[in-house]
C-alpha cells in the first residue's frame, strides 16, 4: 500500500511514527504493508518509490525543520505524479480557502488516489464537491480524524442514525477550549497560560484564534451535520460565540454551584456554538482535551461518545483507522 504524506507537522510526524510502531502488527493482523513513498511539507520533499526510511525523515525534520531538499516543487504536482494508492493529507487547516489541502485532494482524486485526511479546511469549504470528485474518480474519501481527533465520533453518529433518526446533537468538539476551561476551573490558571499549555501539548491549531473564537468547533459541527445528512449548512450559517475573554470569575462561580462552563456545539434548529453552563453530572461535561457528543435519537433516545479530541498520536490513530477501512473496502472491490 503506497502512501504519499502531505504535511509533516504534529499529526504527520505522529502518523509516520505510528507506521513504524505498528508495522509488524499491521502485517500480521491485516496483511497490510504500508510504504511511505513521498513525504512533502511546506519546505521540502523526499521521494522513494521503494519506500522511504521513516526514521531518517523524522530525524531530518527534527534537526533541519523540514524533509528533504528545498526543491520548490509544487506539492500538488508531486501528489499527482507519484505512483501511490493513497494520499494522507495532514497540512495545516485554512478554514477560509481550504488551501493548500483542497488542491492536494483534487490532485489526488484526479490521479485516482484515495484520500485520508484530518484537514478540516477542505471539508468545510467544499464538502459535497470533494465527495463528488471522489465518486467521479472511483476512489474513497475518509476523514474520521477531522472531528474528534482519535475518537470515532462520525462513525458513532452514523451508527446512531442507522434505522433511527437523529433529532439533535449537542457536544464539545474542540479539545483546546475544553482544556483551557478545565485548567481555569481546576487549577485557577489564567486564560493565556492555559492556552500556552494547550499549544505546547499540540492541541491547538497553528492559528489558535480558530480554536478560541469557536471556528474550529463550527467547522466540525458543519462537517458532522453534512456527514450525517442532518443539514447542508456551511460555516457561514452557524451562529458562533467562542470563549475569548471569558471571565475566570464566571468559571469559578459555575464550579462553586456544581456546574461548569463548556463550549457547546448544537445542531437542532440550526447550528450554533456557544459557551454554556452545564450540570457537572451531565455526561457531556468532560474535562481536559476531551470531546463528548450526545446524539438524541427519535426512537432509541440519547447516546454519548467521549474521547480525546485533539493531539498528534490520537489524530494519527484515526488516519490509520481510515487507511485500514480503505484497504478493507478495496480488497472487497468497493470503490467510492
Residues in touch with ligand HSE (CB under 6 A): 149, 174-176, 203-205, 211, 216, 309-310
Cβ neighbours of residue 44 under 8 Å, at least 6 residues apart?
66, 67, 68, 69, 70, 71
Active-site residue identified among 106, 113, 220, 308: 220
* Nearer Cβ to ligand HSE (39/310): 310
> Which residue sits closest to ligand HSE, CB atoms considered?
176
| Residue 220 known to be catalytic | yes
* Nearer Cβ to ligand HSE (186/331): 186
Provide the sign of the torsion angle of the four alpha carbons 138, 129, 216, 58, taken in this order. positive
Cα Dmax for the chain: 61
* Nearer Cβ to ligand HSE (292/310): 310
The edge-to-edge listing of strands for the beta sheet with 301-308 is: 239-240, 270-279, 259-268, 166-172, 290-297, 301-308
Q: Which residues of 269-306 are buried (b: 16+ CB within 10 A; e: fewer)?
A: eebbbbbbebeeeeebbbbebbbbbbbbbeeeeebebb
Instruction: Report d(CA 292, CA 151) in Å as an integer.
Output: 9
* Nearer Cβ to ligand HSE (183/327): 183
Please list the active-site residues.
220
Amino acid at each position: 500500500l503506497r502512501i504519499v504524506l502531505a504535511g509533516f507537522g504534529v499529526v504527520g510526524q505522529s502518523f509516520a511514527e505510528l507506521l513504524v510502531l505498528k508495522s509488524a502488527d499491521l502485517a500480521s493482523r491485516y496483511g497490510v504493508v504500508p510504504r511511505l513513498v513521498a513525504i512533502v511539507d511546506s519546505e521540502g520533499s523526499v521521494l522513494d518509490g521503494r519506500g522511504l526510511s521513516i526514521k531518517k525523515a523524522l530525524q531530518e525534520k527534527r534537526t533541519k525543520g523540514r524533509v528533504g531538499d528545498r526543491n520548490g516543487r509544487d506539492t500538488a504536482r508531486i501528489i499527482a505524479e507519484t505512483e501511490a494508492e493513497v494520499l494522507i493529507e495532514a497540512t495545516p487547516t485554512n478554514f477560509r480557502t481550504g488551501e493548500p489541502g483542497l488542491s492536494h485532494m483534487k490532485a489526488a482524486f484526479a490521479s485516482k488516489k484515495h484520500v485520508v485526511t484530518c484537514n478540516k479546511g477542505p471539508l468545510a469549504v467544499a464538502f459535497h464537491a470533494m465527495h463528488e470528485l471522489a465518486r467521479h474518480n472511483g476512489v474513497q474519501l475518509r476523514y474520521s480524524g477531522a472531528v474528534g481527533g482519535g475518537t470515532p465520533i462520525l462513525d458513532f453518529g452514523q451508527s446512531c442514525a442507522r434505522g433511527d433518526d437523529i433529532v439533535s446533537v449537542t457536544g464539545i468538539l474542540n479539545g483546546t477550549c475544553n482544556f483551557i476551561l478545565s485548567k481555569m476551573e481546576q487549577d485557577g490558571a489564567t486564560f493565556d497560560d492555559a492556552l500556552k499549555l494547550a499549544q505546547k501539548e499540540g492541541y491547538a491549531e497553528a492559528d489558535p484564534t480558530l480554536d478560541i473564537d469557536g471556528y474550529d468547533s463550527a467547522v466540525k459541527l458543519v462537517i458532522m451535520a453534512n456527514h450525517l445528512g442532518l443539514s447542508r449548512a456551511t460555516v457561514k450559517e452557524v451562529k458562533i460565540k467562542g470563549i475569548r475573554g471569558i471571565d475566570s470569575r464566571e468559571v469559578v462561580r459555575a464550579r462553586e454551584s456544581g456546574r461548569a462552563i463548556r463550549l457547546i456545539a448544537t445542531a437542532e434548529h440550526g447550528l450554533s456554538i456557544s459557551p454554556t453552563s452545564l450540570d457537572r453530572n451531565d455526561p457531556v461535561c468532560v474535562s481536559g482535551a476531551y470531546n463528548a457528543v450526545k446524539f438524541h435519537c427519535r426512537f432509541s433516545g440519547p447516546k454519548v461518545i467521549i474521547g480525546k479530541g485533539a493531539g498528534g498520536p490520537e489524530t494519527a490513530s484515526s488516519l490509520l483507522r481510515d487507511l485500514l477501512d480503505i484497504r478493507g473496502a478495496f480488497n472487497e472491490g468497493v470503490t467510492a
